[in-house]
């Protein structure tokens, strides 16, 4: 059975050596000193490794079941959910006013990574609730906040998001679910939603569904869409639970992974719903939830890769096959461990350098969100908005790829369910699809985000990279970081230039290269993170840090990423510059 060890040391490095959270001017950050964050990570790590991780294969094997309209989660999920509730983990970064602890989002991110690595399917019950809370915080009335938030923050009630319908996934303008106004000011919601994560279960006494539906008078397409709160059980004025609402589970989807999470078809048959936010402006309220959700899904990508990597590493140290070509490393044994072989090391280094780079990128993203929310820093908001499709799309593609590579280290045993490696790959796969499939993330990046606010944010990003490069010019130790970063950043600029020169007259010229651009930019972002991490590691070594092994490993891992991954940018640029012609020439009927 796979095991999980919380990467608290690496998180400490990112929080303190890299981002220096305690020295930031963001409200709440001054409290984040090393011992405080270590105490939180330690507690979260115990829950993750001792309670959630052992349940991961159980959830995978058992899945959820629907009996007489009631959804049951796998054995042990209820007790684990109770432990998560008692620990107050959902409220860690939520407002104290509603029962949370008010810590910065970056701490929720660190803790969230541990929970997701340990048991992604389980953590989605809490993760979806967290997103729903944010939507209510942003768009809800004071009364709605008072009614729903305390119970949701405590996890007595959970939340869901309901966008998808059978004929309407990416294209929300095709939505058919209707909201009819009622005399008492509520709405009657009728329609079918599919693929709803955590759609029903036995973990909480109520479920607060956030549902997108079309109310009369909104116009065609996405314009008429509004957002509604539709509780599973209606809530009485005194806060107690009232009648069962007219929402029922049609079925639980059979799926490739995340079996422990109930992905439901939900049928709304005139269910009572309450408008949240402005009428016909439902999408913007939902997008608040989706931006955080996209960051959370990007985190799922590398968090699954982390768990898979840990196990692949242990296996590579343990499994004896073949001899080191430069001389036996285990001469008294029948063979050497797998880790001596260059190709296994290449595989492990790919995983390690991606996971650590992605962790830094995600924590940096969370820090930008904190700057936006807590300081009102508009530049940080613009930057994180630009980065969101990259965090989601690049990291989930790579996360899946790395989970598959981890499986490869096990050879045939990786394909056998008993070892648990296939679950990481199967669970990681969904992150490439939901919250906007990765092709749509690329479209958002190239079609919208690059030009947002007149291209101000992407220009700021280029300036940031340039400043980083300049800061280390002439520093021999940093050469292996700065030069690849400089080259990759120029390639990213050349790609942007190609889009500007060709995209207006032929949008297909830009969109044919959008996926490559998302990956090119992902590598530049991780290259920037690795350059900064190398700088921080050298600084710690120069200051006489005790655990030299950690910092030296950090630098070696970064060098690997820069030398072995950044060259992919040249390939992505070449594909982008080939334009629409190779992609669009073949007529649809000639495929
Ligand atoms: C396990 C699971 C859990 C989910 N959880 C939820 C949930 O909790 N709530 C919820 O509302 N939904 C949920 N979803 C739905 C998920 O978000 C959608 O499946 C996803 O958004 C894609 O929609 P679709 O499946 O209809 O694909 P489609 O929209 O039909 O897209 C099919 C493919 O075409 C591409 N495509 C579509 N339009 C374009 C375009 N204009 N340009 C280029 N490419 C395009 C897409 O990238 C995709 O690859 C879940 C799905 C699954 C499988």
Helix (H) or strand (E) holding 111: helix 105-118
Residue 450, classified by CB atoms within 10 Å of its CB into exposed (0-12), middle (13-18) or buried (19+), is buried
Q: For residues 122, 397, 252 and 229, what is the CA-based torsion angle, rounded to 10 degrees? A: 70
Whether 254 is catalytic is no
Does the CB atom of residue 434 touch ligand 1 within 6 A? yes
Dihedral of alpha carbons 379, 381, 386, 390, sign: positive
Query: Across the chain, which distance is largest between two alpha carbons, in Å?
Result: 84
The token pair that represents 307 in the structure block: 């768990």
- Cα 563 to chain centroid distance, Å, stands at 26
Report how far residue 271's alpha carbon sits from residue 273's, in angstroms, rounded to the nearest whole number. Answer: 6
What pLDDT is stored for residue 473 in this prediction? 87
Helix (H) or strand (E) holding 265: strand 263-276
Residue 39, classified by CB atoms within 10 Å of its CB into exposed (0-12), middle (13-18) or buried (19+), is exposed
Residue 38, classified by CB atoms within 10 Å of its CB into exposed (0-12), middle (13-18) or buried (19+), is middle
For 124-150, how does the pLDDT look when each residue is reduced to its tens digit (9 = 90+)?
A: 999 999 999 999 999 999 999 999 999
Mean pLDDT throughout 440-459?
96
Closest CA to 1 of 35, 37, 43, 49: 49
**CA of 110 relative to ligand 1 center, distance in Å:** 27
For 263-279, how does the pLDDT look when each residue is reduced to its tens digit (9 = 90+)?
A: 999 999 999 999 999 99
Chain mean pLDDT for the chain: 97
Residue 161 alpha carbon, nearest atom of ligand 1:
9
Mean pLDDT throughout 331-341?
98
Best mutation site among 166, 195, 512 for ligand 1 pocket (most ligand atoms within 8 Å of CB): 195
Does the CB atom of residue 300 touch ligand 1 within 6 A? no
What pLDDT is stored for residue 284 in this prediction? 82
**Phi and psi at residue 265, in whole multiples of 5°?**
-90, 125
What pLDDT is stored for residue 222 in this prediction? 87
pLDDT at position 437 over 90: yes
DSSP at 180: E
**CA of 577 relative to ligand 1 center, distance in Å:** 28
What pLDDT is stored for residue 285 in this prediction? 78
The token pair that represents 253 in the structure block: 């989807």
Closest CA to 133 of 144, 123, 122, 143: 144
**Phi and psi at residue 164, in whole multiples of 5°?**
-75, 140
Helix (H) or strand (E) holding 508: helix 507-511
Does the CB atom of residue 447 touch ligand 1 within 6 A? no
What pLDDT is stored for residue 126 in this prediction? 97
What pLDDT is stored for residue 200 in this prediction? 98
Report how far residue 254's alpha carbon sits from residue 262's, in angstroms, rounded to the nearest whole number. Answer: 9
pLDDT at position 292 over 80: no
Residue nearest to atom 37 of ligand 1 (CA): 170
Q: Cα–Cα distances in Å, from 472 out to 76, 361, 476, 557, 560?
A: 52, 20, 9, 19, 19
Report how far residue 86's alpha carbon sits from residue 366's, in angstroms, rounded to the nearest whole number. Answer: 25
For 471-529, how does the pLDDT look when each residue is reduced to its tens digit (9 = 90+)?
A: 998 999 999 999 999 999 999 999 999 999 999 899 999 999 999 999 999 999 999 99
In the chain, pLDDT over 90 holds for what percent of residues? 96
For 357-410, how does the pLDDT look when each residue is reduced to its tens digit (9 = 90+)?
A: 999 999 999 999 999 999 999 999 999 999 999 999 999 999 999 999 999 999
Best mutation site among 208, 429, 434 for ligand 1 pocket (most ligand atoms within 8 Å of CB): 434
Residue nearest to atom 33 of ligand 1 (CA): 437
Banded model confidence at residue 293, pLDDT cuts 50, 70, 90: confident
Q: For residues 302, 304, 308 and 310, what is the CA-based torsion angle, rounded to 10 degrees? A: 70
For 75-124, how does the pLDDT look when each residue is reduced to its tens digit (9 = 90+)?
A: 999 999 999 999 999 999 999 999 999 999 999 999 999 999 999 999 99
Q: Which of 113, 165, 356, 435 is catalytic?
A: 435
Residue nearest to atom 27 of ligand 1 (CA): 169
The token pair that represents 210 in the structure block: 């956030």
Report how far residue 400's alpha carbon sits from residue 421's, in angstroms, rounded to the nearest whole number. Answer: 12
Does the CB atom of residue 515 touch ligand 1 within 6 A? no
Q: SS3 for 32-96, per residue?
A: CCHHHHHHHHHHHHHHHHHHHHHHHHHHHHHCCEEECCEEECCCCHHHHHHHHHHCCCCCCCCCH
Residue with tokens 């690849």: 484
Report how far residue 112's alpha carbon sits from residue 118's, in angstroms, rounded to the nearest whole number. Answer: 10
Does the CB atom of residue 161 touch ligand 1 within 6 A? yes
**CA of 168 relative to ligand 1 center, distance in Å:** 8
Q: SS3 for 291-341, per residue?
A: HHHHHHHHHHHHHHHHHHHHHHHHHHHHCECCCCCCCCCCCCCCCCEHHHC
Residue 29, classified by CB atoms within 10 Å of its CB into exposed (0-12), middle (13-18) or buried (19+), is buried
Residue nearest to atom 11 of ligand 1 (CA): 163
**CA of 170 relative to ligand 1 center, distance in Å:** 5
What is the number of other CB atoms lying within 10 angstroms of the CB of residue 579?
Answer: 17
Does the CB atom of residue 437 touch ligand 1 within 6 A? yes
The answer to whether the pTM exceeds 0.95 is yes
Range from 64-68, 291-295, 371-375, 404-408 carrying the lowest mean pLDDT: 291-295
**CA of 518 relative to ligand 1 center, distance in Å:** 18
């Amino acid at each position: 059975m796979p095991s999980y060890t919380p990467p608290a040391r690496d998180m400490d490095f990112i929080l303190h050596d890299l981002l220096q959270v305690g020295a930031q001017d963001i409200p709440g950050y001054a409290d984040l000193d090393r011992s405080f964050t270590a105490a939180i990570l330690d507690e979260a790590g115990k829950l993750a490794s001792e309670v959630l991780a052992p349940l991961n294969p159980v959830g995978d094997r058992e899945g959820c079941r629907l009996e007489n309209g009631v959804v049951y989660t796998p054995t042990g999920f209820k007790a684990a959910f109770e432990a998560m509730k008692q620990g107050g983990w959902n409220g860690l970064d939520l407002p104290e006013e509603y029962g949370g602890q008010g810590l910065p989002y970056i701490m929720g991110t660190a803790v969230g990574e541990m929970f997701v690595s340990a048991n992604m399917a389980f953590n989605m019950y809490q993760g979806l609730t967290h997103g729903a809370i944010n939507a209510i915080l942003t768009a809800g009335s004071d009364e709605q906040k008072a009614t729903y938030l305390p119970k949701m923050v405590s996890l007595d009630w959970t939340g869901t998001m309901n966008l998808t319908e059978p004929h309407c996934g990416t294209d929300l303008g095709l939505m058919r679910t209707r909201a009819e106004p009622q005399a008492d000011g509520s709405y009657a919601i009728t329609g079918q939603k599919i693929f709803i994560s955590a759609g029903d279960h036995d973990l909480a006494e109520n479920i607060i569904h956030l549902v997108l539906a079309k109310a009369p008078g909104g116009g065609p397409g996405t314009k008429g869409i509004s957002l509604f709160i539709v509780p599973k059980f209606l809530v009485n004025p005194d806060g107690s639970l009232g009648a069962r609402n007219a929402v029922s589970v049609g079925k639980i989807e059979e799926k490739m992974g995340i079996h422990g999470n109930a992905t439901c078809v939900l049928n709304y048959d005139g269910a009572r719903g309450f408008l949240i936010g402005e009428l016909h402006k439902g999408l913007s309220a939902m997008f608040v939830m989706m931006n955080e959700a996209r960051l959370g899904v990007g985190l799922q990508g590398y968090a699954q890769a982390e768990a898979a990597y840990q196990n692949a590493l242990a296996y590579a140290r343990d499994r004896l096959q073949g001899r080191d070509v430069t001389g036996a490393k285990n001469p008294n044994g029948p063979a050497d461990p797998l880790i001596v072989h260059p190709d296994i090391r290449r595989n492990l280094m790919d995983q390690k350098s991606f996971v650590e780079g992605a962790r830094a990128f995600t924590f940096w993203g969370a820090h930008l969100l904190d700057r936006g929310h807590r300081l009102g820093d508009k530049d940080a908001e613009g930057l994180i908005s630009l980065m969101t499709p990259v965090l989601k799309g690049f990291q989930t593609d790579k996360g899946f790829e790395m989970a598959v590579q981890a499986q490869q280290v096990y050879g045939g045993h990786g394909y056998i369910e008993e070892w648990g490696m296939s679950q990481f790959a199967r669970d990681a796969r969904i992150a490439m699809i939901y919250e906007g499939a990765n092709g749509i993330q690329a479209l958002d990046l190239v079609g919208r985000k690059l030009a947002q606010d007149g291209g101000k944010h992407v220009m700021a990003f280029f300036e940031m990279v340039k400043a980083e490069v300049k800061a280390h010019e002439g520093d021999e130790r940093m050469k292996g970081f700065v030069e690849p970063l400089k080259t990759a950043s120029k390639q990213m600029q050349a790609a942007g230039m190609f889009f500007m020169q060709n995209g207006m007259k032929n949008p297909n010229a830009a969109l044919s290269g959008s996926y490559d651009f998302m990956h090119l930019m992902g590598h530049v972002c991780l290259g920037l993170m690795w350059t900064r991490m190398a700088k921080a590691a050298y600084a710690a070594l120069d200051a006489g840090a005790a655990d030299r092994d950690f910092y030296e490993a950090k630098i070696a891992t970064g060098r690997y990423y820069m030398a072995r991954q950044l060259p992919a940018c040249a390939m992505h640029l070449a594909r982008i510059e080939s334009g629409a012609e190779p992609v669009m020439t073949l007529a649809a009927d000639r495929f």
